[in-house]
């Protein structure tokens, strides 16, 4: 009676974990196989011929720059724009290595700032630096004398600061 | 055995016309030897178009070769077609939200993000006005897409790119002349720099911007460059010598 009852149990019930303890090895294997078949049937697969990986041996290049080793597009000559000349050296550095004999022909930089300009600039610089290092008390005196120099106002010397005794 | 290169090599220096085809189809001998040819690579520069197993010529000009495996066609043209990595001079035509529209002389206007400038952030917008000249580089340049420009390199530095050209003169020359100007040790540039100090910006799109100390000198340089288009090197040198002497 008991044996008949076991045979009648449905497959789904037998597949459950707690039922598998009592099963013998053969039945277990059968169930496993069946399960595996169901899973693989459910999986999708593409019905395509196998792709052949072809190596691309033709490469396209659309730009002339790598072909002709074109240089950097900004140029400046004879010190017209020193920033750009620095950039030119930087950007064309890898090409310069091959032809270093060019260095002798580098033209002399034209001076942008004349000596007079430099002197004038330095003059004002001296003034401002003096102002910076002067004490606060002296600062007004400095500006005053500077005004005098520039505007030629008649000098009225500030009386020397001294302690004044308070009056009673 | 070196058949692919041999087919190109026998034509180096010759004139090719659009429609000429270099075919790399395997010879029909059927044995496995064909695989030896397949493995070698070939780089087709401007003027070539790849079509499956063959390379078609799409510009008329002279076939040039550079070691080890680079072939291209040296052609004369005035119309610019954007190519990735090339530096061009653009004119800002519109400001719309996050991008500037830039005219580069191609079939379509290029877009330039306001963040693609050195030191630009969302808060700190670059000062670019409509009509400004920008020296910039293509990051995207595909056949049927809007090209895209940037004014920084991969490290985020400007390297001379960005808005330029407060004064000076902008004009157009042919693309062939531009390549001659940008060639390493260019003879035109070498002759020109002897005359007087000036500044030059050359875009791969055929635009050239010149600035010298005076308007007159700027015009002289511009005119000289334009005449260089159709002159032998001897003619050029005699002309330049006359300019340097001040007789013109």
Instruction: Give per-residue pLDDT as tens, B157-199.
Output: 888 999 998 889 999 999 999 999 999 888 898 888 888 899 9
- With an 8 Å Cβ cutoff, is B202 touching chain A? yes
| Residue B243 confidence (pLDDT) above 60 | yes
Contact B197 A78 (CB under 8 A): yes
CA of B127 vs chain A CAs: smallest distance (Å): 20
Q: Which residues of A116-133 are buried (b: 16+ CB within 10 A; e: fewer)?
A: eeeeeeeeeeeeeeeeee
- Per CATH, the number for B169-245 is 3.30.1370.10
- Give the residue extent of every domain in chain B: 3-74, 87-164, 169-245
Stretch 93-112 of chain A: residues touching chain B, C-beta under 8 Å = 95, 99, 102, 107, 110
* Span B42-95, pLDDT tens digits: 888 999 988 877 889 999 999 999 888 889 999 999 999 999 999 999 999 999
Can you tell me the mean pLDDT for A92-99?
Answer: 64
Topology alike, domains B3-74 and B87-164: yes
Fold of B3-74: OB fold (Dihydrolipoamide Acetyltransferase, E2P) (2.40.50)
CA of B44 vs chain A CAs: smallest distance (Å): 5
Q: Is the pTM of this model over 0.80?
A: no
Q: In what order do the strands lie in the sheet with A58-60?
A: A58-60, B42-44, B70-74, B61-66, B15-16
- Per CATH, the number for B87-164 is 2.40.50.140
- Which band of pLDDT confidence, cut at 50, 70 and 90, is reported for residue A148? very low
Rounded-to-integer distance, Cα B17 and Cα B15, Å = 7
- Which band of pLDDT confidence, cut at 50, 70 and 90, is reported for residue A137? confident
In chain B, helix, strand, coil percent, each to 5? 20, 30, 50
Contact B64 A81 (CB under 8 A): no
- Which band of pLDDT confidence, cut at 50, 70 and 90, is reported for residue A97? low
CB contact set of A76 (below 8 Å; sequence gap of 6+): A82, A84, A85, A88, B197, B198, B199, B200
Q: Note the pLDDT of residue B140.
A: 93
Say whether B167 sits in a helix, a strand or coil: coil
């Amino acid at each position: 009676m008991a044996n008949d009852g076991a045979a009648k149990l449905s497959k789904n019930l037998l597949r459950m974990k707690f039922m598998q303890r009592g099963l013998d090895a053969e039945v277990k294997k059968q169930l496993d196989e069946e399960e595996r078949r169901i899973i693989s049937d459910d999986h999708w697969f593409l019905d395509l011929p196998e792709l052949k990986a072809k190596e691309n041996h033709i490469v396209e290049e659309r730009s002339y720059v790598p072909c002709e080793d074109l240089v950097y597009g900004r140029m400046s000559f004879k010190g017209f724009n020193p920033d750009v000349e620095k950039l030119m050296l930087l950007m064309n550095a890898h090409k310069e290595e091959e032809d270093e004999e060019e260095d002798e022909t580098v033209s002399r930089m034209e001076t942008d700032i004349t000596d007079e300009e430099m002197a004038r600039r330095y003059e004002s610089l001296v003034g401002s630096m003096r102002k910076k290092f002067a004490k606060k008390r002296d600062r007004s005196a400095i500006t005053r004398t500077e005004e005098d120099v520039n505007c030629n106002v008649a000098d009225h010397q500030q009386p020397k600061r001294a302690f004044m005794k308070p009056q009673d | 055995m070196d058949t692919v290169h041999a087919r190109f090599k026998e034509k180096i220096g010759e004139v090719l016309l659009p429609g000429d085809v270099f075919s790399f189809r395997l010879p029909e001998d059927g044995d496995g030897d064909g695989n030896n040819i397949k493995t070698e690579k070939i780089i087709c520069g401007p003027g070539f178009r790849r079509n499956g197993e063959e390379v078609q010529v799409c510009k008329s000009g002279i076939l040039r070769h550079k070691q080890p495996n680079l072939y291209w066609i040296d052609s004369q043209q005035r119309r610019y077609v954007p190519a990735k990595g090339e530096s061009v001079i653009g004119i800002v035509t519109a400001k719309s939200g996050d991008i500037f529209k830039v005219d580069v002389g191609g079939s379509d206007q290029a877009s330039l993000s306001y963040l693609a400038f050195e030191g630009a952030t969302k808060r700190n917008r670059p000062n670019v006005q409509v009509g400004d000249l920008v020296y910039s580089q293509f990051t995207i340049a595909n056949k049927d897409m809007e090209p895209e420009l940037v004014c920084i390199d991969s490290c985020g530095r400007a390297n001379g790119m960005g808005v330029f050209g407060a004064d000076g003169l902008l004009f157009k020359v042919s693309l062939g002349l531009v390549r001659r100007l940008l060639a390493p040790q260019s003879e035109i540039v070498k002759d020109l720099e002897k005359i007087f100090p000036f500044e030059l910006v050359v875009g791969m799109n055929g635009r050239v911007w010149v600035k010298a100390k005076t308007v007159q000198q700027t015009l002289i340089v511009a005119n000289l460059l334009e005449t260089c288009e159709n002159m032998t090197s001897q003619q050029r040198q005699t002309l330049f010598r006359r300019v340097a002497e001040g007789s013109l």
